[in-house]
Amino acid sequence: MGALSNFLRRFDSPSGAPSAAPPAAQARPVYPGEESAALRLVIGSLAHPADDQALTDFLLFVQSKKIDLSEIWVVQSGNSLCWAALPILSEGRTMLLLTPGDVPPAHAQAAIGVMLDGLCQRYSTRNVQLAQALIDPHDEASRRVFQAHGFVRMAELIYLHTAIRRPPAPPPLPAGITVSTYSDQTHPLFAEAILASYRDSLDCPGLNGVRKIEDIIAGHKACGEFDPKMWFLLCQQNESGQSRPRGVLLLSRLPRGDTVELVYLGLAPEARGLRLGDWLMRCALVSTASAGLPRLSLAVDSLNAPALRLYYRFGLSRLASKVAMMRTLGS
């Protein structure tokens, strides 16, 4: 409660005289022994730091992902921590910055900007290409701070999920379409299909061309527990008999949970309007049920109306939303 009393106290003292201004805020790397206090802010908020159970659960995630807690940065004001950021690196040369879930204190916003610049500069020298952050859509103050330090709004992501109460029937294979799973041999076809699906796509178009396809695939593999049998490729024969990739469905089990994440679903322009999205969604539901897990979840760009119609048609419902902010760190 020390941070709360320092920064959320009334501006008027009981005597009616104005209270002293908050101490100056300073950004710095975390000191040994401060990691737990900083994490309580990162996975909670200044007003409501995470409790012991939430901290314990998150530390299990940290351990499974081999996240280095010494890389946390904090903002200190007086004797209290008032902000923190935990960088989480991905195999796709990206970095997600986890920050508290409430509005940053006004007197600390300049120091938060110093923190953001410091972290981005540090990781740009470690072959990280892209920094991302997820912000509450109503938190305009955080958005302005990130935007003032090189982050641009990429999309508002809507998080959807559905409970699978009974396994659906296996979907019939569309005529002329072949299905395969991921392997070293099919890797080039997956790459071609993913790139083709970006053409005229409404799914986070601001990311198009930002990263190389090998980084994109590596990032997708790093989501949850990668299982090549849960990555599906649709191919279609053209008039000359050549098999051309037309779509992908990438699924991943979330660690220590009861959920399969739909990491990515995409179709090439030539394959849209053929109900292949419906087939892939049935495949996702069947795969989730076959894995013995009762829940399917995903995130989708709020402006991607065709995808939202598809997901709502298959019974997914909205959980929450976040604004994704992005800053490029390298060429």
Tens digit of pLDDT per residue, the chain (331 long)? Answer: 343 333 333 333 344 444 556 778 999 999 999 999 999 999 998 889 999 999 999 998 898 888 999 999 999 999 999 999 999 998 888 999 999 988 888 999 999 999 999 999 999 998 899 999 999 999 898 999 999 999 999 999 999 999 988 766 777 777 788 999 999 999 999 999 999 999 887 676 566 666 789 989 998 998 889 999 999 999 987 777 678 899 999 999 988 778 999 999 999 998 888 889 999 999 999 999 999 999 999 999 999 999 999 999 999 999 999 999 999 997 5
Question: Domain 162-320: which CATH class?
Answer: alpha beta
Name the DSSP letter for residue 315: T
End-to-end CA distance of the chain: 44
126's CB contacts (< 8 A; 6+ apart) are none
The beta strand positions in the chain, using DSSP E, are: 25-29, 73-77, 80-90, 94-98, 130-135, 152-163, 177-181, 231-237, 243-253, 259-267, 295-301, 317-328
116-166: pLDDT as tens digits: 999 999 999 988 999 999 999 998 989 999 999 999 999 999 999 999 887
For residue 289, the model assigns a pLDDT of 92
For 284, phi then psi, to 5°, come to -65, -40
Judge residue 313's burial from the number of C-beta atoms within 10 Å of its C-beta, 0-12 exposed, 13-18 middle, 19 or more buried.
Answer: exposed
pTM here?
0.84
**Cβ proximity of 132 and 97 under 8 Å:** yes
Residue ranges, CATH 3.40.630.30, the chain:
2-150, 162-320
| The amino acid at 95 | M
For position 169, what pLDDT does the model report? Answer: 76
CA dist 41 and 4 (Å) reads 11
The architecture in CATH of the region 2-150 reads 3-Layer(aba) Sandwich (3.40)
The answer to whether the CB of 64 falls within 8 A of the CB of 88 is: no
